[in-house]
Amino acid sequence: MMIFNKIPAPKKPFALNKCKILTLILSMCALSPITQAGSAVFSTTNIQYLHGSSYADFNPGGGFSDDDKSDIITVEHFNVWKYGDNFFFVDITNPLNEGDVFGTTQESTAVFYGEISPRLSFSKLFNSKLVWGPIADVLLTSTVEIPEAPVAQTYLYGLAVDLKIPHFQFFQVNLYVRNSRASGVDTGQQLTLVWGLPFNISTLPLVFEGFFDYAWGEDPIKENIITAPRLLVDVGKITGMGEGKIQAGIEYQIWRNKFGIDGMDEDAPQAMVKWIW
């Protein structure tokens, strides 16, 4: 996944409904008129393919396993407009109906998960730069996590700061309140870091990007940490297809208490290819 605002790794899968997928994507695209009201000053979209074979799951014999296999296609969009920025993505796990289903021993049909994450900049809203030290901006931040029904959505809202750190293309800190619509789940909190660092080793163009999420306080769900740093080669620049157009490399997903399940830990390297336009 391209990291723009908050790009989590694939969440718990649920049965795919193609009509709902289309509805979700169209509803995300509905953000565009909002940005057009102030004229989008920047936008980018990408499609990613990831493959891994060591995802954590329940072991039918008891305890946990770490050998689930999955293919994931992700569609992402990010734009900056007059008063802030918007980000959305959809994960389609096992789109070819091949792979492991979380929580069962069956092979998967395609499943999906999505998020919409708009932010509003205080600097842009009040036409006054909120700059202090490494702080480049302060923002209202929000996210809607969208699994397929009947699983409840979760609403996140809070404050964010964009930081100016030498050599980094971006570095964001988001602090959220997590408000699950599921009954019996406490309101919790979440800290999200997102970063992007382009660099070169000799003439080899690379990008180090990723995110870090720490969620807590949602009893009875256990506190959990997920991070997915990735190291990508700018294949487009090397091959003459265009800088920043095709990237490939490794994303390493680290998840502690996966899905808030006590003791389910995951360390999953994933091969990744990303097409950007």
Tens-digit pLDDT profile for residues 109-150: 777 899 999 999 999 999 988 889 999 999 999 999 998 767
Instruction: Report pLDDT for 111.
Output: 79
Task: Calculate mean pLDDT across residues 211-225.
Answer: 96
Would you say 264 and 59 are in contact if contact means Cβ atoms under 8 Å apart? no
Q: Which amino acid is at 6?
A: K
What does DSSP say about strands 111-121 and 170-180: parallel, antiparallel, or unpaired? unpaired
DSSP E strands, 59-127: 64-81, 84-93, 111-121
Mean pLDDT of the chain: 86
Instruction: Report pLDDT for 29.
Output: 53
Higher pLDDT, 37 or 250: 250
Which residues 6+ apart lie within 8 Å of 132 measured at CB? Answer: none
| Domains of the chain by start residue, with CATH | 18-276 (2.40.230.20)
Q: Does 216 have pLDDT greater than 50?
A: yes
Q: Using alpha carbons only, what angle is made at residue 190 by residues 83 and 220, rounded to the nearest 5 degrees?
A: 140
For 57-86, the pLDDT digits (tens) are 888 888 898 888 889 999 999 999 999 999
Q: Model confidence at 108, in pLDDT bands (50, 70, 90)?
A: low
Instruction: Name the DSSP class of 241.
Output: S
Residue 221 bridge partners (DSSP): none
Phi, psi of 222 (to 5 degrees): -75, 150
Lowest mean pLDDT among 14-28, 65-79, 88-102, 206-220: 14-28
Closest CA to 219 of 265, 264, 256, 182: 182
Higher pLDDT, 9 or 68: 68
State how far the Cα of 178 lies from the Cα of 101, in Å rounded to an integer.
Answer: 26
Would you say 237 and 244 are in contact if contact means Cβ atoms under 8 Å apart? yes
Closest CA to 270 of 231, 238, 236: 231
Q: Model confidence at 44, in pLDDT bands (50, 70, 90)?
A: very high
Q: Does 2 have pLDDT greater than 50?
A: no
In the chain, % of residues over pLDDT 70: 82
* The token pair that represents 36 in the structure block: 């057009």
State how far the Cα of 239 lies from the Cα of 120, in Å rounded to an integer.
Answer: 38
Query: Where is 44: in which H helix or E strand?
Result: strand 42-58
Lowest mean pLDDT among 20-24, 88-92, 127-131, 176-180: 20-24
Task: Calculate mean pLDDT across residues 236-241.
Answer: 92
Lowest mean pLDDT among 7-16, 68-77, 195-204: 7-16
Instruction: Report pLDDT for 151.
Output: 78
Q: Model confidence at 95, in pLDDT bands (50, 70, 90)?
A: confident
Q: Does 184 have pLDDT greater than 80?
A: yes
For 23-42, the pLDDT digits (tens) are 555 555 554 445 444 567 89
